Structure 1
Amino acid sequence: MAQESGGAAQEHLDEVRELLTEFPVVDGHNDLPWAMREQAGYDLDALDVAGDRTGQLHTDLPRLRRGGVGGQFWSVYVPSDMGPGENPVAATLEQIDFVRRLLARFPESLAPARTADEMEAARAEGRIASLMGAEGGQSIAESMGTLRALYELGVRYMTLTHNHNLRWADSATDQPRAGGLTAFGREVVREMNRLGMLVDLSHVAATTMRDALAVTEAPVIFSHSSSRAVCDHPRNIPDDVLAQLPANGGVAMATFVPKFVLPEAVAWTQAADDNLRAHGLHHLDTTPQAMRLHEEFEAASPRPVATAATVADHLDHMREVAGVDHIGIGGDFDGTAFTPSDLSDVAGYPNLLAELRARGWSRADLAKLTWQNAVRTLRGAEDAARSLSAKRGPSLATIDQLDGPVPTAGGAPAA
């Protein structure tokens, strides 16, 4: 259960809760769909999020309401290291299918949304505008047609990479290979612009961020990334990139993941991840078995604990560099084993806003952070798409045409 902040921030909780009734949180990234796959095989009867699922999930409908959430990008994530027998496109479609079934099951609470206008309509109805974001270009399998199909199914952003490089883009957490974006990668960005699908630069290498910003004709997002100047982790955003957002019109959505926001947590989390791998589990596993292993590890080696103040430090810096019009929130709930102490689940957003209010953020500043910036950025992508689609048709480019065929082991092109 989310805990409430103490001190000066406590005094502002009622104020920010009132603000959230008018300007609710748009969260850029929530991994409930994958958590439901792992824990319940997507079975909403086996793990019903209509009730409080504290201890199993970070997310359920009662806590979304308590947290003041009014817009959610549900991640339709698939791992970037799927094995040869696994199909990332099929797995992405299964994720999309789950989100559609989730929305159909709870129409009184969750509203399908594909546009900024539909987000505003959901807010007016008191429902949570629900969008989808594909986390990693592995979901399109190097196919422009698949990219367009995902857009037609409602996907409104794609993170260019996840934790591993693609042939056409470098990841933040892999060894550089492409040097950023290849020619095909740049064409993917242009086609996303033409469609109106937001280019998400979380997870990508800084070189990829810079290449994408040089190519894009529409606003970009960082769906769940914080400041590299505050916590020097490759998943975070360098200041020179943040400084480009005002000209681009995009938004950087600060994440809550302790190893990305608290320097002391970086090494500890690496050791905890290694412990999971030693037991044959994926380091991103959040199943009950994985959490028991984490609890045992933590008992022997207490972890450094982030707080809402830790995240606020990032937002203060990101605001200073990019401006208050270009920041937002992307918690990564249900995609991380650990959370800040007072941002432990989706009910915790008021604690962060109260901390910022105690630091002098105005009501207008907070409204931009929670709702207005994210909606404006999606609208900007839609406006760009109308213009671009009038000028050019769908891209028929292939990766072999633009980047060349994959070399064989001996170095010669594949037949």
Structure 2
Amino acid sequence: MNGTTTSARRARELLTDHPVFDGHNDLPWALRQHCGYDLDRCDIAEDRSAVLHTDLPRLRAGGVGAQFWSVYVPAELRGDRAVSATLEQIDCVRALLDRYPGTLRRALTADDVVAARAEGRIASLMGAEGGHSIDCSLATLRALHALGVRYLTLTHNDNVPWADSATDVPAAGGLTRFGVEVVREINRTGMLVDLSHVAPATMRDALAATRAPVIFSHSSARAVCDHPRNVPDDVLAELATNGGVAMATFVPQFVLPAAVEWSAAAEAHLRERGLDPAAESPEVDAARRAYAAAHPRPVATPATVADHLDHMREVAGIDHVGIGGDYDGVAFTPAGLDDVSCYPNLLAELLDRRWSETDLAKLTWHNALRVLGEAERTAAALGERERPSTATIEELDG
């Protein structure tokens, strides 16, 4: 038996005991786009590989034991439209839980995640991707928590009035006073502060303000691939003090330097044709795929992602790394990490690099579970002495 075969077998065995707790999957938005949330038209109990990265058989094959489902809405939605669309996304996750109770289990706490695993079900949590989903309202933040959302990504691709995004022109210089209050209220509720998508200044301000560990639900190492969506080394190093977890993503243009250059050229091609590269439409998707057909894109692999994880482990420490694939949120995936069935391929690569099974168990399961539990314990302590904040952005930033 050769080494590759042995590593693949060991990877699958390890995932039986220490399944993947993935930080970010965009299936709900993909279901909105493909079938208008009509699960009769897109039954994920069946093979949906023609249109989706995710379905139940492939989640099982990939060794997924817990999943943060993103209740993402585009940043161009603002105000009440953003809040309503977020509620529709939450409703989609609830519909999935109701339809597939034998496979998916609602999880609100670390104990729920452990219970789901004991039952042989996939723990299903929710994360809201972008501060626009709360429309500058701490009451709305609390309402999302009451509906089961367990992390808030402070921004998406655009700034919000109280925080700078990694991919927008800086305006706040990080977090405003209201942004600090958002972080502290996230702590008080027991949600997780998610720093994927935010500018480095926002990362640093949030780490200074938080009373609980943070996460990066789907970000990799900027030192390995210089893309603004990735995490600088000084921030990775600070996770050892904060206790948080950076969950490496698989998005090719975030992990492969050549793909960064290719993506920039592809976006310029779209703009020349009057299309917004950030827009989500069949026209944009078709144009992007046509460009890829004419200009073969650089292909990432499990080794590409493993390079990031090697670096993140070295800088942050093994207790502060995780996985956030971003499946169904991207047009392209690495070869060998094509969909949610492919996590064993990444673990096999890491085994070949002499990662111990103890380290891999932390990467896949224990680190994310620990952070979720620590956020809950922080909230319990804060709840004994703090009341819900009634602060407004007008009061703090006006």
Distance (whole Å) between structure 2 residues aligned to residue 234 and residue 331 of structure 1: 17
Contact 1:284 1:336 in 2 (8 A): no
Asked if 1:96 is matched to 2:86, the reply is no
Partner SS state of residue 11, structure 1: helix
- Residue aligning to 2:28: 33
Partner SS state of residue 169, structure 2: coil
Could you tell me which amino acid in structure 1 is paired with residue 42 of structure 2?
L
- Residue aligning to 2:169: 175
- Residue aligning to 1:362: 356
- With over 3 angstroms needed to count, the CA separation of the structure-2 counterparts of 1:273 and 1:108, relative to structure 1, is farther
Partner SS state of residue 289, structure 2: helix
- With over 3 angstroms needed to count, the CA separation of the structure-2 counterparts of 1:290 and 1:9, relative to structure 1, is farther
Partner SS state of residue 244, structure 1: helix
- Structure 1 segment 245-264 matched on structure 2, within 5 A: 245-264=239-258
Distance (whole Å) between structure 2 residues aligned to residue 292 and residue 178 of structure 1: 36
- Residue aligning to 1:296: 290
Distance (whole Å) between structure 1 residues aligned to residue 59 and residue 99 of structure 2: 16
Asked if 1:330 is matched to 2:330, the reply is no
Asked if 1:381 is matched to 2:356, the reply is no
Contact 1:286 1:334 in 2 (8 A): no
Contact 1:221 1:253 in 2 (8 A): yes
Could you tell me which amino acid in structure 1 is paired with residue 90 of structure 2?
I
- Residue aligning to 2:19: 24
Contact 2:309 2:321 in 1 (8 A): yes
- With over 3 angstroms needed to count, the CA separation of the structure-2 counterparts of 1:219 and 1:83, relative to structure 1, is closer
- Structure 1 segment 139-178 matched on structure 2, within 5 A: 139-178=133-172
From 367, 377, 394, give the equivalent of 1:400: 394
- Structure 1 segment 145-224 matched on structure 2, within 5 A: 145-224=139-218
Distance (whole Å) between structure 2 residues aligned to residue 18 and residue 134 of structure 1: 32
The size of the alignment, in residue pairs, is: 397
Question: Which ranges of structure 1 fall in alignment gaps of 5 or more residues?
Answer: 1-6, 405-415
* Runs of 4+ that moved beyond 3 A: 7-10, 273-295
- Residue aligning to 1:243: 237
Contact 2:245 2:367 in 1 (8 A): yes
- Structure 1 segment 260-271 matched on structure 2, within 5 A: 260-271=254-265
Distance (whole Å) between structure 1 residues aligned to residue 223 and residue 22 of structure 2: 23
- With over 3 angstroms needed to count, the CA separation of the structure-2 counterparts of 1:353 and 1:303, relative to structure 1, is same
Distance (whole Å) between structure 1 residues aligned to residue 276 and residue 341 of structure 2: 27
- With over 3 angstroms needed to count, the CA separation of the structure-2 counterparts of 1:395 and 1:90, relative to structure 1, is same
- My pick for the range that moved more, 205-214 or 282-291, is 282-291
TM-score by length of 2: 0.97
Distance (whole Å) between structure 2 residues aligned to residue 126 and residue 139 of structure 1: 32
- With over 3 angstroms needed to count, the CA separation of the structure-2 counterparts of 1:233 and 1:328, relative to structure 1, is same
Sequence identity, in percent? Answer: 67
CA shift at 1:294, angstroms? 3.2
Could you tell me which amino acid in structure 2 is paired with residue 80 of structure 1?
A
- Residue aligning to 1:79: 74
From 99, 102, 106, give the equivalent of 1:105: 99
From 216, 222, 225, give the equivalent of 1:228: 222
CA shift at 1:281, angstroms? 5.8
Could you tell me which amino acid in structure 2 is paired with residue 392 of structure 1?
E
Could you tell me which amino acid in structure 2 is paired with residue 29 of structure 1?
H
Q: Residue by residue, what CA displacement relative to the aligned partner does 1:152-178 show, whole Å, maximum 9, x if unpaired?
A: 000000000000011100000001110
- My pick for the range that moved more, 287-296 or 94-103, is 287-296
CA shift at 1:267, angstroms? 1.9
Partner SS state of residue 215, structure 2: strand
Q: Residue by residue, what CA displacement relative to the aligned partner does 1:285-326 show, whole Å, maximum 9, x if unpaired?
A: 677665543332122111000000000000000000000010
Contact 2:214 2:244 in 1 (8 A): yes
Could you tell me which amino acid in structure 2 is paired with residue 378 of structure 1?
L
CA shift at 1:10, angstroms? 3.9
CA shift at 1:268, angstroms? 1.0
Distance (whole Å) between structure 2 residues aligned to residue 326 and residue 165 of structure 1: 27
Contact 1:56 1:288 in 2 (8 A): no
Distance (whole Å) between structure 1 residues aligned to residue 46 and residue 275 of structure 2: 28
Q: Residue by residue, what CA displacement relative to the aligned partner does 1:362-381 show, whole Å, maximum 9, x if unpaired?
A: 11011000000000000000
Distance (whole Å) between structure 2 residues aligned to residue 282 and residue 74 of structure 1: 26
Distance (whole Å) between structure 2 residues aligned to residue 353 and residue 72 of structure 1: 18
Asked if 1:44 is matched to 2:44, the reply is no
CA shift at 1:272, angstroms? 2.6
Distance (whole Å) between structure 2 residues aligned to residue 274 and residue 119 of structure 1: 43
Could you tell me which amino acid in structure 1 is paired with residue 230 of structure 2?
N
- With over 3 angstroms needed to count, the CA separation of the structure-2 counterparts of 1:349 and 1:285, relative to structure 1, is farther
Contact 1:228 1:237 in 2 (8 A): yes
TM-score by length of 1: 0.93
Distance (whole Å) between structure 1 residues aligned to residue 53 and residue 377 of structure 2: 34
Distance (whole Å) between structure 1 residues aligned to residue 83 and residue 246 of structure 2: 27
- With over 3 angstroms needed to count, the CA separation of the structure-2 counterparts of 1:347 and 1:281, relative to structure 1, is farther
CA shift at 1:220, angstroms? 0.3
Could you tell me which amino acid in structure 1 is paired with residue 210 of structure 2?
T
